[in-house]
Chains A and B, each alone.
Chain A
Amino acid sequence: MTDATMKADDLPEIAPPRSQWRDVWAQFRNHKGAMIGLAVLVVIVLFVFIGPLIWRIGPEQMPTDALTLIRSKNLGPSWGHPLGTDQLARDELARLMAGGKISIAVGLTAMTLSISLGTLVGVLSGYFKRLDGILMRLTDLFLALPLLPLLLVMVMLFRDTIAHVLGLEAGTFILIVSAIGVTSWMQCARVVRGEVLALKEREFVLAAKSIGTPPRRMILRHILPNVLSPVMVAATLGIANAIITESALSFLGLGFPPDFPTWGRLLYDGVDLMQDNPGLVIWPGVAISLTVLSVNYIGDGLRDALDPRIRGR
């Protein structure tokens, strides 16, 4: 090794270790799919959050007199209503914006909750042998529960109480997010536990142990970064799952109240009128698919960018 003979003085001043995040970003930018996904997600978020400020028709706005209402039901695209109107003559574009706000918020928050729970349980049961039995039986228990009835019961029991304290919208939001989060962490926990069990036997963990690294830092420094890939995959799938579960709940009348449009509710409302007015189904469907797809690609790119072995290739 010739560099062994190099003296430190011969070398030019070496820059201190640079931040990894710049490398991560550079790699992420190279991932075409991820960049397109990011662009699409940004467009969707802008559409949902900035859109209502430009498009001033409200999602619940209906013509007041009966005749106009009947005439402007289920309209096709026009300048006045670019995406047409629904069966109650409400503007589909405005409803899509308003629904997206809730759906995206629910998807992201519920996903974060379920991933955090799943990773926590998975890491604890994989790393600490004593907790393994208890936590995995708990996971089995949750997996064995019929989720939809459980969700229904949870919503039935707690909706009014929480709505009283926090208001209808915030209360329902928290309830639905926690209900979805609490019932969807199991797969993530299992996958993470398996990875941790394998990682724990790797020599670099032994090496850290021989240095005397305490378990907390061992997990944060050596275990968690290495289980990132499966967690990332679980997270991207989780968003889609959360959006769809929310729409199922709304459909059953136990999600958000009917006057709060969400993408899932728009979709279900449109199902009956699919043949007369396909736009009512297509637009929310496209919005959900695009969001899920773009998040998937972003997750894919992030996973690659965070792995030094792939980075730089």
Chain B
Amino acid sequence: MFDTPKPSAKTLVSVRGLKMYFPIHTGILRRHTGDVKAVDDVSFDILEGETLGLVGESGCGKSTCGRALIRLYDITDGSIMIDGVDVGQMEQDALRPLRPKMQMVFQDPQASLNPRLTVAEIIGEPLVEHTQLTKPERLKRIYELMDAVGLNRRFANRYPHEFSGGQRQRIGIARALALNPRFIVCDEPIAALDVSIQAQVVNLLEELQDRMGLTYLFISHDLSMVRHIADRVAVMYLGKMVELAPRDALYDAPLHPYTEALLSAVPEPDPSLESSRQRIILKGDVPSPANPPKGCNFCTRCPKVMPICREVEPAFRELHPGRFVACHLYDETQQTPTAGRTGGVEAQSTPVQQGENG
């Protein structure tokens, strides 16, 4: 586990201006009348061997961002450099030889495994597609992978429905590992699992990272889990990245008001502290990504909103080394407010999860 990002590590994934719009067609002629801006101009880097946590409420574009990154979608605009190769605008055919480098672990372990294939066939599929292994060699590799993720070799002939959720997720991880990838997008890999199984799967992911030097983009709405696994954390709101910072810095002193509100929703295990925890409850709903507000996307709900927020879109910029934020509060011309949870309604109600399954 790399608890602190190594400054010497080189950049493995570099995303610049990623846009993923889904067109809306209306009317009899199905004219293109607008776009759902699922991911709107997002830029970030992922260093080799680190885990970047990506958090945000449901519908904010986390999963779309992850999927666009490994080009499951044809992106609208932007560049995605993976290990020095720009895969952003590449054709799917040209992309195919690069696929082994980047893999994905899916959210729903039930839906991400073909119910008609055996475990061996599921794990072996990438091997069939990308290697020239003979059948016995392939079987050997499948058994190795099953050992690596802690699955009994004897299960190789079974079908996905015969497994528990945690075991299924292990199958999904084994499939993602089959081709020795360098970069894995974990799209809420633990959201569909029981809490006790969540820990197993997360520990497995960490162990594999140690052993194989993997790089993760860990998408989740579980802030405590992200705190556990991630080295740096990025926060998304309505298709935009609002803050990106090293984990401890972000959790200790969030800069963006949205991050603040999000973090205030994390339940505290200690009951005496929990009773004094002050929630920032955001008012209103998330605006539609098809029609985001003018200026800052968060201006409709921000407790610290200023007039400029409704006019000018804040730039996503590096405030301190390694700390990126998109907020007018930190503009040079503006006075930096005192840190603290001054805005918002304070309440002691039962914690409400900020994000649900997205």
Q: Which A residues fall within an 8 A CB radius of B? A: 1, 3-4, 6, 8, 11, 14, 16-18, 20, 202-204, 206-214, 217, 221-222, 225-226, 306-309
Contacts and interface: CB of A to CB of B under 8 A. Distances in A.
20 contacts: A3-B150, A6-B152, A8-B143, A11-B153, A16-B136, A17-B121, A20-B118, A203-B108, A206-B104, A206-B106, A207-B172, A211-B130, A211-B175, A212-B96, A214-B96, A226-B116, A306-B116, A307-B115, A308-B115, A308-B161
Nearest to A5: B150
Nearest to B158: A308
Given A226-B114, A309-B159, A206 B67 contact: yes
A168 B126 CA distance: 53
A16 B139 contact: yes
A1 B167 contact: yes
A209 B108 CA distance: 16
Contacts of B157: 17-18
A4 B155 CA distance: 12
Main secondary structure of the interface of A (DSSP, over half): helix
B151 interface: yes
A166 to B, nearest CB: 40
A311 to B, nearest CB: 8
Given A8-B143, A17-B157, A308-B116, A211 B126 contact: yes
B104 A207 contact: yes
B318 interface: no
A167 B95 CA distance: 54
Interface in B106-131: 106-108, 111-118, 120-121, 125-126, 129-130
A221 B129 CA distance: 12
Contacts of B29: none
Interface in B43-71: 67, 70
Interface size class, chain B: 35 or more
B112 A203 contact: yes
Which of B111, B156, B166: most chain A Cβ within 10 A? B111
A195 to B, nearest CB: 13
Nearest to A210: B104
B99 interface: yes
B154 interface: yes
B224 interface: no
Interface of B: 67, 70, 72, 95-96, 99, 102-104, 106-108, 111-118, 120-121, 125-126, 129-130, 136, 139, 143, 147, 150-154, 156-157, 159, 161, 166-167, 172, 175, 179, 200
Contacts of B103: 210-211
Contact of B99 (A18, A212, A307): A212
A243 B17 CA distance: 62
A17 B118 contact: yes
A204 B108 CA distance: 10
Given A14-B156, A17-B120, A221-B114, 16 more contacts: A4-B151, A6-B152, A8-B153, A11-B153, A11-B154, A204-B113, A206-B67, A206-B106, A207-B175, A211-B103, A211-B126, A212-B96, A213-B129, A217-B129, A308-B116, A308-B118
B154 A14 contact: yes
B72 A4 contact: no
B112 to A, nearest CB: 4
A210 to B, nearest CB: 5
B115 A210 contact: no
Given A208-B125, A308-B161, A202 B111 contact: yes
Contacts of A204: 111-114
A1 B150 contact: yes
Contacts of A3: 150-152
B159 A203 contact: no
Contacts of A203: 106-108, 111-112
B330 to A, nearest CB: 37
Contacts of B118: 17, 20, 308
A197 to B, nearest CB: 15
Contacts of B95: 212
Contact of B72 (A1, A210, A222): A210
Q: Which of B120, B143, B157 has the most CB of A within 10 A?
A: B157
Given A203-B108, A210-B103, A4 B113 contact: no
Contacts of B156: 14, 17
Contacts of A14: 143, 153-154, 156
A20 B248 CA distance: 51
A249 to B, nearest CB: 38
A208 B147 CA distance: 22
B166 A211 contact: no
A206 B157 CA distance: 23
A309 B96 CA distance: 32
A221 B147 CA distance: 26
Contacts of B67: 206
Nearest to A212: B99
B286 to A, nearest CB: 23
A17 B99 contact: no
Contact of A307 (B116, B120, B147, B166): B116
Nearest to B109: A203
A222 B152 CA distance: 25
**Which 4 A/B pairs are nearest by Cβ-Cβ distance?**
A4-B150, A212-B99, A3-B152, A203-B112
